């Protein structure tokens, strides 16, 4: 089943020493069912705040978040991969991956069996019993992604999953995640500050303005996959989006 994710006029403010700070100001965005939408924008424009609202961790002050056109309980429909590595250091990689089975009260045996298959598919076969501290950054992110996939939610909200990785590891994981997504077909909201990454992976790229965050522009990326970062088309999309971001920074 594929499900859309819709933000309609979402606003959010936080208390600050200078009064309330408006972080999101009537933001609207559509993530199509089975599609991949990336949100790019400057640091602090409210991307993580939006991701947490999508996941039901934060509540919007105004506006609506709809799943499949309806206002349903999102913790049951949206899987959220946080920006920072949240693997539990005392659990093995496999035990980390099956966390949602514990939380949802599903069979651990079945979750372990599914996780073992995904470890192989995600290139982590043989590392199931290792603690996170003994894995590389790229491996830890893959474990966190397996954990996100194993939540069995239709919608994935991935907050800068490759943000902390070196360029080479990042490029490998981008290709790999794109391939897995084409096979599994989840609805993805992907948050990144890397425009090139957004062009390589997305059907649609939404550019967020600096604070307060609104969608400044949206671009459909009409290119076949897999995409090459050195192709003329990718370079052209990238240049045009960078121009939009730069224009937002000085206006
Ligand atoms: N719980 C909170 N209380 C107060 N202010 C907050 C809270 N969470 C976020 N903010 C503020 O909201 C703004 C947006 O933060 P957010 O983490 O959503 O930005 P971001 O776009 O994800 O940034 P980055 O690209 O650096 O990850 C920041 O100014 C931040 O300080
Ligand atoms: Mg963030």
Structural domain spans, the chain:
5-77+153-250, 88-152
Angle between helical axes of 167-184 and 137-149 (0-180°, round to 10):
20
| CA nearest to 151, candidates 203, 186, 200 | 186
With a 6 Å cutoff on the Cβ, whether 59 touches ligand 1 is no
> Among the CATH numbers 3.30.2130.10, 3.40.50.300, 3.30.360.10, 3.40.350.10, which is that of 5-77+153-250?
3.40.50.300
pLDDT value at position 33?
A: 95
> pLDDT of 18-46, one tens digit each?
889 999 999 999 999 999 999 999 888 99
With a 6 Å cutoff on the Cβ, whether 46 touches ligand 1 is yes
Q: How far is Cα 48 from Cα 43, in angstroms, rounded to an integer? A: 10
With a 6 Å cutoff on the Cβ, whether 47 touches ligand 1 is yes
pLDDT value at position 251?
A: 46
Q: Whose Cα sits closest to atom 24 in ligand 1?
A: 43
Q: Are 165 and 138 in contact (CB under 8 A)?
A: yes
Instruction: Extract the tokens encoding 216.
Output: 């400044």
pLDDT value at position 201?
A: 96
Pairing of strands 78-81, 62-67: unpaired
Please give the chain's pLDDT, 251 residues, in tens: 689 999 999 999 999 998 899 999 999 999 999 999 999 998 889 999 999 999 999 999 999 999 998 887 777 889 999 988 789 999 999 999 999 888 888 889 999 999 999 899 888 999 999 999 999 988 998 999 999 989 989 999 999 998 878 888 889 889 989 998 998 889 999 999 899 999 999 999 999 988 788 898 999 999 999 899 999 999 999 999 998 888 866 54
Residue with tokens 């099956």: 98
DSSP 153: -
- List the beta bridge partners of residue 67: 5, 70
Q: Are 216 and 248 in contact (CB under 8 A)?
A: yes
pLDDT value at position 64?
A: 94
Q: Whose Cα sits closest to atom 3 in ligand 1?
A: 14
- The whole-model pTM stands at 0.93
Ligand number with the minimum distance to the CA of 41: 1
Q: Whose Cα sits closest to atom 18 in ligand 1?
A: 46
Instruction: Extract the tokens encoding 175.
Output: 């290709």
Query: How many angstroms is it from 248 CA to the middle of ligand 1?
Result: 18
- Cα distances (angstroms) measured from residue 146 to each of 18, 143, 176: 41, 5, 13
Query: How many angstroms is it from 109 CA to the middle of ligand 2?
Result: 34
- List the beta bridge partners of residue 98: none
pLDDT value at position 247?
A: 80
Residue with tokens 């240049």: 239
Q: How far is Cα 55 from Cα 67, in angstroms, rounded to an integer? A: 11
Q: How far is Cα 195 from Cα 205, in angstroms, rounded to an integer? A: 9
Instruction: Extract the tokens encoding 52.
Output: 């947490």
Q: How far is Cα 14 from Cα 22, in angstroms, rounded to an integer? A: 7
Q: Whose Cα sits closest to atom 5 in ligand 1?
A: 14
Helix (H) or strand (E) holding 21: strand 19-31
Looking at ligand 1, which atom is closest to the CA of residue 50?
18
Pairing of strands 36-40, 62-67: unpaired
Query: How many angstroms is it from 159 CA to the middle of ligand 2?
Result: 7
Q: How far is Cα 67 from Cα 14, in angstroms, rounded to an integer? A: 25
Instruction: Extract the tokens encoding 142.
Output: 């893959």
Query: How many angstroms is it from 51 CA to the middle of ligand 1?
Result: 11
| CA nearest to 122, candidates 189, 38, 183, 201 | 183
């Amino acid at each position: 089943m594929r499900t859309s994710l819709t933000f309609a006029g979402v606003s959010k403010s936080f208390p600050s020493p200078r009064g309330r700070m408006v972080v999101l100001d009537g933001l609207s965005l559509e993530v199509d069912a089975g599609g991949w939408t990336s949100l790019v924008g400057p640091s602090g424009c409210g991307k993580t705040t939006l991701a947490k609202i999508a996941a039901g961790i934060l509540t919007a002050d105004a506006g609506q978040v709809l799943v499949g056109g309806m206002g349903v309980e999102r913790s049951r429909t949206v899987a959220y991969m946080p920006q920072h590595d949240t693997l539990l250091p005392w659990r093995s990689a496999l035990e980390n991956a099956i966390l949602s089975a514990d939380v949802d009260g599903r069979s651990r045996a079945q979750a372990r069996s599914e996780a073992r298959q995904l470890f192989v598919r995600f290139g982590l076969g043989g590392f199931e019993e290792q603690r996170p501290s003994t894995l590389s950054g790229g491996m830890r992110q893959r474990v966190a992604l397996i954990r996100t996939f194993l939540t069995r939610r239709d919608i994935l909200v991935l907050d800068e999953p490759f943000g902390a990785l070196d360029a080479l590891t990042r490029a490998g994981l981008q290709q790999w995640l794109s391939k897995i997504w084409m096979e599994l077909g989840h609805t993805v909201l992907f948050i990144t500050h890397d425009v090139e990454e957004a062009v390589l992976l997305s059907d649609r790229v939404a550019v967020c303005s600096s604070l307060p965050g609104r969608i400044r522009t949206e671009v459909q990326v009409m290119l076949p996959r897999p995409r090459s970062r050195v192709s003329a088309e990718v370079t052209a999309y990238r240049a045009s989006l960078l121009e939009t971001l730069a224009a937002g920074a000085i206006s």
